[in-house]
Structure 1
Amino acid sequence: MQKKKNNRLLTVILIILAGVFILFPLYILVSTALKSPEDMMKSTLALPTTFHFDNFTQAIKLTNFFDAFTNTAVITCVSVVFIIISNSMVAYAIARNQNIKYFNLLYYYFLSAMFVPFQIIMLPLVKQVSALHLDNVPGIIILYIVYGLPINTFLYVGYLKSLPKSLEEAATIDGATIWQVFFRIIFPLLKPINATVGILAFLGCWNDFMLPLVILSKPEQATLSLVQYIFQGQFSTNYNLAFASYLLALLPIIIVYVFAQRFIISGVTNGAIKQ
């Protein structure tokens, strides 16, 4: 009984600590975004004496927020759609043919890519992309699709192994082609893991900074993560406007995650259960 009480107390303490470490930076972000420069000079932690909502208006104008938002939304949404379709097809081919050496080697080849840091391939990638004239929005979408293969193949293969093959065998006996089997039988059953992969891909594409930085060559193609650069000066930073801009860029992804987090959990746990 005493052990249970100690465990419960430890759990409560850990939850409180986690809450503090998560909520405190958010408090600093929101309070700074609503302060004037004079309030910032007085105290970083104190609440603003007056709420300066005009910080958001100025941040929107300085960063061309809506243009950057449109670029980010287009890149993210198109990437997510093609990531789900293409990566699930690759994983299906691997999952149903892992008894063949070629597909088994392909699976481990994709997994090995997860351990290659982006910094190692960054310079060769920039040179190759430039040579192929893919230093633009379509090019970065293609790269997101390719870079999603390792982790998404791992997730999809684990989930596909939990699906009974009898459904596919019955459809094949009825005369269905491999494409019909996948899109009419398998793909609808992938809804939980599709949601998981889609949400993780959405978060990754929306928040990514390094790939747009080294790939996108035109200022009008800049994403939200890139336009935050505008507030970083050589000698000082306008933290009030910068934090207002950060908050504007952060809100959409927070909203998506709050409403979609249950799909992430259900997709991963379903994939861990083998039938």
Structure 2
Amino acid sequence: MHRKLFKWTYFYLVSGMFIPFNIIMLPLIKLLYATGLNSYVGLILGYVFYGLPANVFLTVGYLHSVPRELEESAVIDGATVWQTFWRVIFPLMKPINATITIFTMLNAWNDFMLPMLLIRDKSLMTLPLIQYAFQGQYNTDYGLAFASYLMALLPAVIFFLFAQRWIVSGLVSGAVKS
């Protein structure tokens, strides 16, 4: 029963990956405006719900690579289900959590379409929307535009360099069969 429910829930969540943003864009914007969430809160909710299918897909795929013997040995040692998860499984999930964090951060950092459709207040505009102002209909200030692009790139690069060690450790964790 639980396995069947898990499979159904998994396929339901992952099926969201097959729906392009262009299809759900207008209903999502109408819903967020109707509920008064045309601010950062609505933007965050949009990123969470649209990024959830890919994150679930990556996490479940990674958890299938964790040996079941680790869970069984924790149960034999007397650990509860929650203790097994928090003390055995969750520490092993650092690489996939870092990967998901990087993908989600880069998606939110570089997104242009959702903030452009959702945010109307100039004081709430995100960095890509502000950078869009450097491109006029008849002229573009390339010096200012490229300086802002470089400044916008720095936090993403620094964040990636900080989280890189967990990704690399996750890539080589299953490289050698023991």
- TM-score above 0.5: yes
State the SS of the aligned residue for 2:65. Answer: coil
Match of 2:95 among 183, 186, 192: 192
Which residue is equivalent to 1:104?
Answer: 7
Q: Please tell me the residue identity of whatever aligns with 1:240.
A: G
Deviation of the 1:124 alpha carbon: 0.5
Q: Distance in 2 between matches of 1:267 and 1:183?
A: 18
Q: What is the number of equivalent residue pairs in this alignment?
A: 177
- Residue 202 of structure 1 is matched in structure 2 by 105
Shift of 1:272: 9.3
Matched, 1:182 2:85: yes
8 A Cα contact 2:94 2:166, kept in partner: no
1:219 — aligned with what? 122
Q: For the structure 1 residues 143 and 268, does the alpha-carbon distance in structure 2 shift closer, same or farther, using more than 3 Å as the test?
A: farther
Q: Aligned-pair RMSD on alpha carbons?
A: 2.8
1:154 aligned to which of 31, 45, 57: 57
| Distance (Å, rounded) in 2 between the aligned partners of 1:146 and 1:169 | 33
1:244 equivalenced with 2:147 (yes/no): yes
1:128 counterpart = 2:31: yes
Larger relative contact order, structure 1 or 2 (CA cutoff 8 Å, min sep 6): 1
Report the Cα distance in structure 2 between the residues aligned to 1:128 and 1:120, rounded to whole angstroms: 14
Per-residue deviation at 1:121? 0.8
Aligned-partner Cα distance in 2 for 1:228–1:210: 13
Computing the radius of gyration from Cα coordinates, the structure with the larger value is 1
Q: 2-side partners of 1:123 and 1:182: how far apart?
A: 39
CA shift at 1:119, angstroms? 0.8
Structure 1 CA distance, aligned partners of 2:167 and 2:3?
31
CA 1:103–1:272: 2 relative to 1, 3 Å: farther
Contact 1:192 1:263 in 2 (8 A): yes
- 1:125 to partner: Cα distance: 0.4
Q: TM-score, normalising length from structure 2? A: 0.83
Indicate conservation of the 8 Å contact 1:160/1:271, yes or no: no
Q: 2:48 aligns with which of 145, 164, 183?
A: 145
C-alpha distance in 2 between matches for 1:160 and 1:139: 30
Unaligned runs of 5+ in 1: 1-96
Contact map agreement 1:114 1:150 (CA 8 A) in 2: yes
